[in-house]
Amino acid sequence: MVRLITHNLLACHAKGCTTNNFPLAFRDVQLENREAEYNPEFLKGFMPKIEWNALVSTARELGDVSLPAECPEPGTETDEFLHALHHVLMEIHVEEGSMVCPNCQHVYRISNGIPNMLLAEHEIK
């Protein structure tokens, strides 16, 4: 279950890769939409933890253009916005595919909805 909310929190951690290592770029993905319970309070509470630009660009790469380029100020979120955010963060699942580091090009695979973020011993910082 790699949803965009999780993807937004993962960075490359290969040896020496400390800049431009986020967001990981999806490649060859199989997507599934699964309905999730909508909770606007959760979304508002979680927004400060989100890297907005990374979320918007990733959603657009996956074909979802519903989010605005600028994140609304706290307290000004409309229902329409929150529903769009809910869908992007919580309902788009990447079941299969890869995530590639924009800096070192390390490939992290996703299989059966689980991202493999393990590195071999020589690849660890």
Partner 1 sequence: MLPTPDLSHLTQKDYEHVYEPAEDTFILLDALEKDAGVLQELKPRLCLEVGSGSGCVSAFLGKILGKADALYLCTDINLHATQSTLKTGEQNDVPLNPVLASLTRPLTARLHHAVDILIFNPPYVPTTTIEAVGAQAGRDIQGSWAGGNDGMQVTNELLESVESLLSPQGLFYLVAVKQNNIPKISHHMLERYGLISEVVLQRRAGREHLHILKFMHLWHDSHLLRVV
The reply to whether 41 sits near partner 1 by the rule CB under 8 A is: yes
Q: Candidates 20, 39, 53, 105: give the one binding partner 1 (CB under 8 A).
A: 39
- Taking alpha carbons only, the member of 121, 81, 109, 96 closest to residue 10 is 109
Tally the C-alpha atoms within 13 A of residue 11's C-alpha that lie toward its C-beta.
12
The reply to whether 9 sits near partner 1 by the rule CB under 8 A is: yes
Quote the CA–CA distance of 105 and 10 in Å, as a whole number: 15
Binding-site residue total for partner 1 (CB under 8 A)?
A: 34
Specify the residue, 28 or 111, whose C-beta has the smaller distance to partner 1. Answer: 111
Specify the residue, 65 or 102, whose C-beta has the smaller distance to partner 1. Answer: 102
The reply to whether 21 sits near partner 1 by the rule CB under 8 A is: yes
Quote the CA–CA distance of 79 and 121 in Å, as a whole number: 47
